Structure 1
Amino acid sequence: MRILIADDHTLFREGVTEILTAAGGVEVVGQAHSGEDACRKAAALHPDVVVLDVEMPGQGVRETLARLRRDAPHSRVVVLTMHDDVVLARELLSLGAGAYLVKGSSRHELLSAIHSVRVDRGPGHVILSVSQQGLDRVEAPQGEALSTREREVLTLAAEALSNAQIARRLSIAEGTVKRHLRNIYGKLGAVSRLDAVNKAKAAALISGPRPGDAGS
């Protein structure tokens, strides 16, 4: 099986290459450092499977998936990402990815996903590997969870404003901003400001580029 690995981290690409090569029956025919690079090499090398990272420089993962469908229609895609996000996973699977795995997955899960997507089981067959925590976040009514003020706070946080700047912009106390952020983290199951922003964008709770979009 011929594999193309696309990730902007050289050590990660080399590590995945070693894992796949050691498994036998797999040949890594190329490595790509961006979405554009992945599309060019997939069109030229005709890999059976492209292992694709979500966040790379240049074009976003959505455009990359669209170009791969057009330029390398026989190549299947396994998304391998740090985003433990079922909402994002559902979107990318609907856009043509055959599998979505978080980078905490085992080598056995990665190899199994690669072999499984290569077998044409029809458009209704996909592979999803996320944590129970990721599933629990989807079960919560996220669309209704954030208040109007919380969305305002998170929108400004997405613009990289500090708590003090957000407070001045909204004419509220800085302590109130901190309280809103704590509430937001709890509602979205987020562990940091960036995590909350990414989850809210992926769920379309606030506007702006989502994980994997160009420049995110």
Structure 2
Amino acid sequence: MTITPRILVVDRVPVFAAGVEAAFARMGHPVTLDHLKTLPALADLPATLPDVLLLEASWGAQAELELIRQLHLRHPQIRCIVSVCDGKAGLAAAVRQAGGSGVFNKALNPQMLVSLCLQVLQEDCFIPTSIGEAGQQASALGGPSLTARQQEILWLVAEGQSNKQIARRLSVAEGTIKNQLYSMYRVLGVSNRTEASRWWLHTAQ
């Protein structure tokens, strides 16, 4: 991943691109962001290729899927993520098959969007479409059993918040958060917050 990732947002609404840029800034992650209102042809991409392409999905998303296929063949290092305003049956599977890196709901918490983008840049993972649906946390079914409070803490950890920030948000002592994390590490079979975040992102679907 480059030190300052380049993100190209393709979205009809300029305010969405501005919101993405602001979210990265609030979380202390520098980013170079470009915005296009319409889907580009492969030849129309900037000379300096983006690290992440955030594509707004049109109805059916066929043009977006075709662009993802072409990029996957010619520039596989570019991570393509599709944004949706509502659920589209089968879209996540189609994006994965085309070589994309995920689907997210545009109502997603901005900090979580930053966390997901960074996760995709750091490793070749796929964002399940149900993560952050309508900005709500998803429950990890069929996995290790966590309490509601532990799930809440893990959600905030995955957003990139520190123990101090989580403690302040939940109005508890920082030591309480540390104890809860150690307990969760044992339950999940992980050794640190990065592995715990990865588990949450991969199983909250």
Task: State TM-score, norm by structure 1.
Answer: 0.51
The residue identity in structure 1 corresponding to 2:52 is V
In the other structure, the counterpart of 2:129 is 129
Structure 1 stretches lacking a partner, 5+ long: 135-216
Residue 47 (structure 1) aligned with residue 58 (structure 2): no
Deviation at 1:87, TM superposition (A): 1.3
**In structure 1, how many angstroms separate the alpha carbons of the residues matched to 2:88 and 2:10?**
20
Q: Is 2:37 aligned against 1:33? A: yes
Q: Secondary structure at the match of 1:35?
A: coil
What is the identity, as a one-letter code, of the residue corresponding to 2:49? H
Q: Distance in 1 between matches of 2:53 and 2:43?
A: 10
Task: Give the AA of the match of 1:129.
Answer: T
Residues 2 and 54 (structure 1), Cα distance of their counterparts in 2 relative to 1, 3 Å cut: same
Residues 133 and 53 of structure 1, relative CA distance in 2, 3 Å threshold = closer
Q: Does the CA-based 8 Å contact 1:76-1:98 persist in structure 2?
A: yes
Structure 2: which amino acid aligns with 1:18? A
Q: Relative to structure 1, is the Cα distance of residues 97 and 26 closer, same or farther in structure 2, using a 3 angstrom cutoff?
A: farther
Partners of 2:21 and 2:114 in 1: CA distance: 11
Query: Using the alignment, how far apart are the partners of 2:34 and 2:132 within structure 1?
Result: 33
Query: Percent identity, aligned pairs only?
Result: 21
Is the 1:93–1:99 contact (alpha carbons within 8 Å) kept by the matching residues of 2?
yes
Cα offset, 1:22, TM superposition = 2.7
Q: Do the aligned residues in 1 keep the contact of 2:42 with 2:70 (CA within 8 Å)? A: no
Contact 1:39 1:71 (C-alpha < 8 Å) held by counterparts: no
SS of 2:40's partner is helix
Q: Which of the two has higher C-alpha Rg?
A: 1
Aligned 8 A contact 2:17 2:35 in 1: yes
Q: Establish whether residue 63 from structure 1 lines up as the match of residue 94 from structure 2.
A: no
- Tell me if the contact between 1:82 and 1:104 (Cα under 8 Å) persists in the aligned partners: yes
**Cross-structure match for 2:23:** 19
1: CA distance, partners of 2:17 / 2:43: 16
Deviation at 1:73, TM superposition (A): 2.5
Partner of 1:2: 6
Shift, 1:62, TM fit: 1.3
More helix by share: 1
Amino acid at match of 1:105: L
CA-based RMSD of the aligned residues comes to: 2.9
What is residue 85 of structure 2 aligned with on the other side?
82
Q: TM-score, normalised by structure 2?
A: 0.53
Which letter maps to 2:114? L
Q: How many residues are aligned here?
A: 129
The unaligned stretches of length 5 or more in structure 2 are: 135-205
Partners in 2 of 1:78 and 1:105 — Cα distance?
A: 13
For residues 98-143 of structure 1, give each alpha carbon's deviation from its aligned partner in whole angstroms, at most 9, with x where no partner exists. 121111211122112101111234xxx3111327999xxxxxxxxx
Shift of 1:71: 4.3
